[in-house]
Amino acid sequence: MADVPEVKEVKIATPPASAMTILAHPDDAEFGSGGTIATWAQAGTEITMVIVTDGSKGSPDRTLTPAQLILLRQEEQARAAKVLGVAHVVHLGHEDGYLQPTIALRRDIARVIRQYRPEVIITGDPDARFGGENYINHPDHRAAAEAALYGIFPAADNHNYFPELLAEGLEPHYVQSLYIQQWGDGSTVVPVSEEAMNTKIAALAEHKSQFDIKDVEKFVRERTAEIGKKHDQPYAETYRVLVLHEPRSVKEAAAAEAEQTMQETDAVAEAVKEPASVGE
Ligand SMILES: [Zn+2]
C-alpha cells in the first residue's frame, strides 16, 4: 500500500515505562501481543489493558445469558491479566459485535489515555480486512483500532477535544509511540523468550469460555516461532510502529499546553476584573 513506508531495517523494541493495549475483545491482547505484554511486564513496564467491548456475543452456549457471559469473560480476563503481570484492566463495555468507531467511543478512549498516560499504545490494524485465505477479520477489531488511532490523535493530546474530560481533571496526554499489530512482517519486532511464550499460553488458557488451549496452542506457538526465526529469536511478535512524539518533545508539548492554560486563566481573570460593558 502506498502509505506504508519501505522497511529498511527491522527494529528490535525495548520495553517502555508504560504501555496500554486498546483492543476489542477479552483475549485479543493475549492472541496478538501476549508475548510482548509478558516480556515488558517482566521488565517493569506498567501495563494497562483496555477491552472495548463486553464480549457478550462470544459463546454458542444457549444456556448462558449475555449478562452471565459478560461476567464470566471479565473474570477470565482478570485471571489472564494476572498471569501476564498487567497492572490495570479497563472494560469500556460497548456491545460486542456491533462496534463502530463513533465519536462517543473516541471520547472513551481519549479518557482512558489521559487517565493512565501510557508512553506506548498497542492496537490492531484498522486496514486488515482479511487474514490469509480463510479468515474475515472481525469488524470489532477494525472499529476498535480505528477509534484507538483517533482517540490518540487528535483527541487525547488536544484540550479543545472533549472539554468534559478537562472538567474531569484529565489533562491532555501525548502518546510517544503507536504499535500496530501485524500478522506478517512489521517494522519492529518484540523478541519473545521461551518463558514469555509459556506465560502467553498460560494467559490464553484462562479464556476457557472461548476455546480449549489444547486446540490453539500449537497454532499460536508455530505462528510466533515463524516470526522469531526470521530474527534469530525463539519467538517474536511484529508491529508497524509510528513514533508520534520523541520523549523530549512530549515534555515540551506538555509545557506549552500548561503555558497556554495559564494564559487562558489570566485572560479570564482580566475579564472578571474589567467586565465588558454591555449595550453600548
Ligand atoms: Zn477478538
Q: What is the mean pLDDT of residues 176-186?
A: 93
What pTM, to 2 d.p., does this model score?
A: 0.88
Residue 261 scores a pLDDT above 70: no
The pLDDT tens digits for 99-153 are 999 999 999 999 999 999 999 999 999 999 998 789 999 999 999 999 999 999 9
Q: Which residue has the higher pLDDT, 7 or 161?
A: 161
- The span from the CA of 252 to the CA of 266, in Å, is 21
For ligand 1, the distance from its centroid to the CA atom of residue 134, given in whole angstroms, is 16
* Separation of CA 139 and ligand 1 centre (Å): 9
- Grid cell in block for residue 51: 477491552
* Average pLDDT score over residue span 192-219: 97
17 CA from centroid of ligand 1 (Å): 26
Asked whether the beta carbons of 118 and 20 are under 8 A apart, the reply is: yes
Q: Are 48 and 175 in contact (CB under 8 A)?
A: no
Quote the cell numbers at residue 29. Answer: 491482547
Neighbouring CB atoms inside 10 A of 48's CB total: 22
| Residue-wise pLDDT tens digits, 76-105 | 999 999 999 999 999 999 999 999 999 999
> Which residues are close to ligand 1, an ion, with C-beta < 5 A?
25, 28
Cα of 200 vs centre of ligand 1, distance in Å, is 16
7-37 per-position pLDDT tens digit: 778 899 999 999 999 999 999 999 999 999 9
Do the bridges between strand 235-243 and strand 188-192 make them parallel or antiparallel, or are there none, so unpaired?
Answer: antiparallel
- Beta-sheet pairing, 177-181 with 235-243: antiparallel
Q: Is the pLDDT of residue 243 over 60?
A: yes
Measured in Å, residue 150 CA sits from the centre of ligand 1 at 20
Taking the centre of ligand 1 as the mean of its atom positions, its distance from the CA of residue 24, in whole angstroms, is 6
Lowest mean pLDDT among 43-47, 130-134, 166-170, 231-235: 130-134
Question: Residue 74 C-alpha to ligand 1 middle, in angstroms?
Answer: 14
**CA 228 – ligand 1 centroid, Å:** 23
More confident residue, 236 or 264: 236
Ordered alpha helix ranges (H), the chain: 28-42, 66-84, 103-116, 139-150, 163-167, 194-205, 213-230, 247-273
Of 265, 121, 222, 244, which Cα lies nearest the Cα of 181?
Answer: 121
CA 98 – ligand 1 centroid, Å: 12
* pLDDT for 277 beyond 60: no
Ligand 1 center from residue 57 Cα (angstroms) = 11
Kindly give the distance from the C-alpha atom of residue 141 to the centroid of ligand 1, in angstroms, as a whole number: 6
Confidence grade of residue 276 (pLDDT, cut at 50, 70, 90): very low
CA 263 – CA 229 distance, rounded (Å): 55
Q: What is the mean pLDDT of residues 227-244?
A: 95
Mean pLDDT, all residues of the chain: 91
Residue 129: per-residue pLDDT: 94
Confidence of residue 238 (pLDDT cuts 50, 70, 90): very high
* CA of residue 30 to ligand 1 center, whole Å: 10
